[in-house]
Each structure stands twice: as C-alpha cells, then as structure tokens.
Amino acid sequence: MHDPRVLLDPATEAVRKLARRGFDLDLDLLEKLFTRRTATVSAADDARAESNRVAKEVGAAAKRGEDVTALREDARALKARIQELEDQQRTVAAELEEFLLGVPNLPSDESPDGTSDEDAEVVDTWGEPTRFDFEPVDHVDLGERLGILDFARATRLSGPRFSVLRGAGARLERGIGQFLLELHTERHGYTEFSVPVLVNRPTMTGTGQLPKFESDLFRTGVADRELFLIPTAEVPLTNLHAGETLRAEDLPLAYTGLTQCFRSEAGSYGKDTRGLIRQHQFAKVELVRFCSEERATEELAVLRGHAETALRLLGLPYRVVRLAAGDTGFSARVTYDLEVWLPGQGRYREISSVSDFGTFQARRAGIRTRAKDGTKGFANTLNGSGLPIGRTLVAILEQYQQADGSLRVPDALVPYVRFERIAPDGTTS
C-alpha cells in the first residue's frame, strides 16, 4: 500500500508510472479523500483540546462555588462533537484505505513497456536447448508411459487440473523438494519454516492478494473464521513479521519453506489444461528476503542467483527475462522470470518469478524497521520461486528422456531419490 502523500507528490510521477501498467490513478479522488481525512483528524484534535480546556474550567469554577451548568452543557456538546468527528474520521480513513489497497505498486522504470510476455526483455541465458536424435515427447506422454503420472484418476478424484504421482514419480517429487530445501538452507543460508496453508484475510491483504485477486483464491472457513488456502508460501512467510518492527542491523533476513499451494486459475480457462504446468494444487519451495530499501537491488540479484543455481545444478537450460511493466504482478515493482527450456514443447516456459516489492508489502502488513540511531522505516521485501516442484519435474522429464523411453535422473537428485534411471516399464535402478 502506498503513502498517499507520495502518490500526490508530482515528483513521484505516479500517474505516468501506473499508466504503464494500464492503471488509471484518480488523483482528484485521492486528494479529496486525503484532504478530508486530514481535516477530520485536525478537527477532532481541536475538539479534544477544547474539551480538555472546558473540563479544567468546570473544575476551577466548581472550586470557586460558581454555577457551572453552562460549562457542563458546553462539555457535553464537545463530547458529542468529538464522537461525531471520530466517526467521520473512521469512515473517511476506511474509504482512503480501500482506495489505496486497490492501487498497484509503481513499476520500475527499468521494466520495458508492454502488457504481455511478448514484451518481456531477455537479459540472460544459460545452457543450450537440448537437441535429440529422436523426437522428444512432452511430460504427459512420457510420465504416463512410465506409469508415474496418472491424470485420469486425479480427474476422478478432484476434477481437471489435478495430478496423481505414483511410485518413482512420487519419489522424484519428494526428492526435488528435499534437494531444493537443502540447497537453500545449507548453501544459501535461508531459515526453513513450516507454515500454515490456511490464512486469514489480513494476511492475504498484507502481501497483496486481497482485495483485488479474491476470485483467484480458494476460500473456506473454520467455525466463524474466514480462511483462504495460500497461493504461495510468500504469503505466510512474509507475514511472519506483520505488525512487527525489525532491527535494521539484523537485515537481511532470508526465509524458505516447502508448501502446497492452491490457485483457482480464474481467467485461465483453456490455458495449459494438459499436464502439470497449471494446476489447482501444487508444491513449491519459496524464497523470501527482508532488507533495507538501499540494499534492494543487490538483494534481488542475490535472490535471482539462488533460483538460477537450482536450475544449473539440475542441468536445465533456461533464460532470464525482465517482465514488461504491464505484465508485472500487482505488488511488484520489478520482476524477472526464469524460463526453462522444455524439449517436449519446443519452447521456454516460466519456472520461477523473482520480484522486488520495495516497501509496498511492508506498508500493507505493517513490517517496520528501526536503526540503532532510532531511525524508523519500512522493510523492503523480495520473493522468488526456488523452485516449484511440479514444473521442475516437467523440465526434468522432458530434458532427461532417453530414446528407449526411459528417464535418466539428474546427478544432483540421485542422493535424494536413490536411483539413477527409470526404465520404460517404470522400474528404477
């Protein structure tokens, strides 16, 4: 969420920047709401000061034995006026907050213009797309032939966009998660958390999923409590410090967790209905970092490097693209997508997004900082996928398939799954 004074400051160029997202900022309405809030706060403060003054007069007059009837009437009128002004203050504050919660983050000027993935800028590549001496198949055909993926039974259980992994497939899924967690905790220094996958409305609001993206979420409840299934561990990991003040000298903080994630995929009807690419439920290792604003650029590079290291260790060719301003997520000011090469599809597909949110999420969630000299501020938050288990499995299946229909396991995963190969009949060795 934004500081309204920053949005109203012409030097911020908020209207121009948000227009690059396709968002029309109503500055006139914002100024009216902000002015009304300021005026009601000032009027309430003045009324409370006057009430205190009158109360002292009542006390002094009573001690002198004077008639205080009129003064007490003034005091009662002032109390009623204060109540009225406080009600007005709450109303306009809620209106202003509702307005600000709907305003996305200001995109960085380094993000290219545009509104789709076609406008993204390729900034780096690693590895060459694999060339086979046979016609590669996609992960669905290969996984079903190996007997490790079962979409038909998943559909019977839950409907489309779900999957069942069997035998070596389930072992691979588990092994990928363990490999990624050990990489990020032992080599990259992240603290691992096990967090709830059901969270409340304030938690979802803190990271920007609500109110705008409620249709993308699965909503449920326990007794009289409203709860949402998380779309990513970014939500609980970031909100671990909601309403807290972090010591500046303790930054940066680096958190990770492996959770199930749930997305309704509203608006994606007909897209990626085949296979593991776009599921309602999927597992993902998330990376979250907290730092000072001054360190944001360096921390984003560090975070991106950690996600890239996972792909490199798995031997998966990829490229890095900087998303266009109009295609950058609601809460992010700049996002890099890592796109892995999928031989079975003959193209690059997104496997990780790495984003810098500035202080946008911290303002919404109330995550503050305090330096040793007493200087206060808001934390800078960043997050990235490090990596999603399903899409990583897709890339491994398509990248490491063999001419005889078998699958070779990446060397980095062998210690976690304890086999090197899945034969065409699904047996491991």
Range of the domain at 43: 26-102
On whether 383 is known to bind a ligand per the annotation, the reply is yes
Cα angle: 285, vertex 111, 215; to 5 degrees = 55
Do residues 318 and 126 make contact, with C-beta atoms less than 8 angstroms apart?
Answer: yes
Assigned domain for 86 exists = yes
Is the same domain home to 73 and 146? no
On whether 353 is known to bind a ligand per the annotation, the reply is yes
What average pLDDT does range 310-329 have in this prediction? 98
Predicted confidence at residue 67, as pLDDT, reads 84
| pLDDT grade for 407, boundaries at 50, 70 and 90 | very high
Predicted confidence at residue 61, as pLDDT, reads 85
Phi-psi region of 41 (alpha: psi -120 to 50; beta: other; left: phi over 0): alpha
CATH of the domain at 398: 3.30.930.10
Assigned domain for 376 exists = yes
On whether 233 is known to bind a ligand per the annotation, the reply is yes
Decide if pLDDT at 8 tops 80: yes
Is the same domain home to 353 and 236? yes
What percentage of the chain exceeds 70 in pLDDT? 98
Is the same domain home to 358 and 242? yes
On whether 277 is known to bind a ligand per the annotation, the reply is no
Is the same domain home to 172 and 221? yes
What average pLDDT does range 314-326 have in this prediction? 98
101-120: pLDDT as tens digits: 999 999 999 999 999 999 99
Is the same domain home to 92 and 124? no
Residue 320, φ and ψ in degrees, nearest 5: -115, 130
Q: Is 263 considered catalytic here? A: yes
Is the same domain home to 126 and 87? no
273-294: pLDDT as tens digits: 789 999 999 999 999 999 999 9
- Report the alpha-carbon distance of residue 74 to residue 376 in Å, rounded: 41
On whether 309 is known to bind a ligand per the annotation, the reply is no
362-406: pLDDT as tens digits: 999 999 999 999 999 999 999 999 999 999 999 999 999 999 999
Tokens of 221: 């409840």
Is the same domain home to 88 and 164? no
User: Considering 102, 137, 157, which residue would you say is the last residue of a domain?
Assistant: 102
Q: Which residue has the higher pLDDT, 267 or 329?
A: 329
- Report the alpha-carbon distance of residue 330 to residue 207 in Å, rounded: 10
Interstrand relation of 421-422 and 164-165 (parallel, antiparallel or unpaired): unpaired
- Report the alpha-carbon distance of residue 84 to residue 48 in Å, rounded: 12
Residues 6+ apart with CB under 8 A from 249: 371, 372
Cα angle: 351, vertex 352, 354; to 5 degrees = 165
Q: Is 353 considered catalytic here? A: yes
Predicted confidence at residue 266, as pLDDT, reads 65
User: Considering 102, 125, 159, which residue would you say is the last residue of a domain?
Assistant: 102
Assigned domain for 183 exists = yes
Predicted confidence at residue 39, as pLDDT, reads 95
What average pLDDT does range 50-71 have in this prediction? 86
| pTM exceeding the 0.85 threshold for the entire prediction | yes
Is the same domain home to 123 and 249? yes
Average pLDDT in the chain: 95
On whether 232 is known to bind a ligand per the annotation, the reply is yes
Decide if pLDDT at 138 tops 90: yes
Assigned domain for 8 exists = no
Decide if pLDDT at 1 tops 60: yes
Assigned domain for 219 exists = yes
On whether 234 is known to bind a ligand per the annotation, the reply is yes
Which residue's entry shows tokens 């409340």? 200
What average pLDDT does range 48-53 have in this prediction? 90
CATH of the domain at 43: 1.10.287.40
> Which of 21, 37, 171, 263 is flagged as catalytic?
263
> Which of 353, 355, 398, 406 is flagged as catalytic?
353
On whether 57 is known to bind a ligand per the annotation, the reply is no
| pLDDT grade for 222, boundaries at 50, 70 and 90 | confident
Nearest Cα residue to 287 out of 330, 312, 253: 253
| pLDDT grade for 269, boundaries at 50, 70 and 90 | low
Predicted confidence at residue 59, as pLDDT, reads 86
Decide if pLDDT at 195 tops 80: yes
- HEC letters along the chain: CCCHHHHHCHHHCHHHHHHCCCCCCCHHHHHHHHHHHHHHHHHHHHHHHHHHHHHHHHHHHHHCCCCCHHHHHHHHHHHHHHHHHHHHHHHHHHHHHHHHHCCCCCCCCCCCCCCCHHHCEEEEEECCCCCCCCCCCCHHHHHHHHCCEEHHHHHHHHCCCCCEECCHHHHHHHHHHHHHHHHHHHHCCCEECCCCCEECHHHHHHHCCCCCCHHHCEEEEECCEEEEECCCCHHHHHHCCCCCEEEHHHCCEEEEEEEEEECCCCCCCCCCCCCCCCCCEEEEEEEEEEECHHHHHHHHHHHHHHHHHHHHHCCCCEEEEECCHHHCCCCCCEEEEEEEEECCCCEEEEEEEEEECCCHHHHHHCCEEECCCCCEEECEEEEEEEEEHHHHHHHHHHHCECCCCCEECCHHHHHHHCCCEECCCCCEC
Assigned domain for 135 exists = yes
Is the same domain home to 98 and 134? no
Predicted confidence at residue 23, as pLDDT, reads 97
What average pLDDT does range 236-248 have in this prediction? 98
Is the same domain home to 38 and 156? no
Q: Is 421 considered catalytic here? A: no
Is the same domain home to 54 and 180? no
Is the same domain home to 149 and 63? no
Do residues 214 and 231 make contact, with C-beta atoms less than 8 angstroms apart?
Answer: no
Q: Is 131 considered catalytic here? A: no
> Which of 322, 350, 363, 406 is flagged as catalytic?
350
Do residues 52 and 82 make contact, with C-beta atoms less than 8 angstroms apart?
Answer: no
Decide if pLDDT at 193 tops 70: yes
On whether 239 is known to bind a ligand per the annotation, the reply is no
Assigned domain for 316 exists = yes
> Which of 36, 166, 278, 408 is flagged as catalytic?
278
Predicted confidence at residue 270, as pLDDT, reads 60
User: Considering 53, 78, 102, which residue would you say is the last residue of a domain?
Assistant: 102
Do residues 332 and 356 make contact, with C-beta atoms less than 8 angstroms apart?
Answer: yes
293-309: pLDDT as tens digits: 999 999 999 999 999 99
Q: Count up the domains in the chain and report the number.
A: 2
On whether 145 is known to bind a ligand per the annotation, the reply is no
Assigned domain for 77 exists = yes
Edge to edge, the sheet with strand 198-199 lists: 198-199, 225-229, 218-222
Residue 363 identity: R
- Report the alpha-carbon distance of residue 363 to residue 302 in Å, rounded: 23
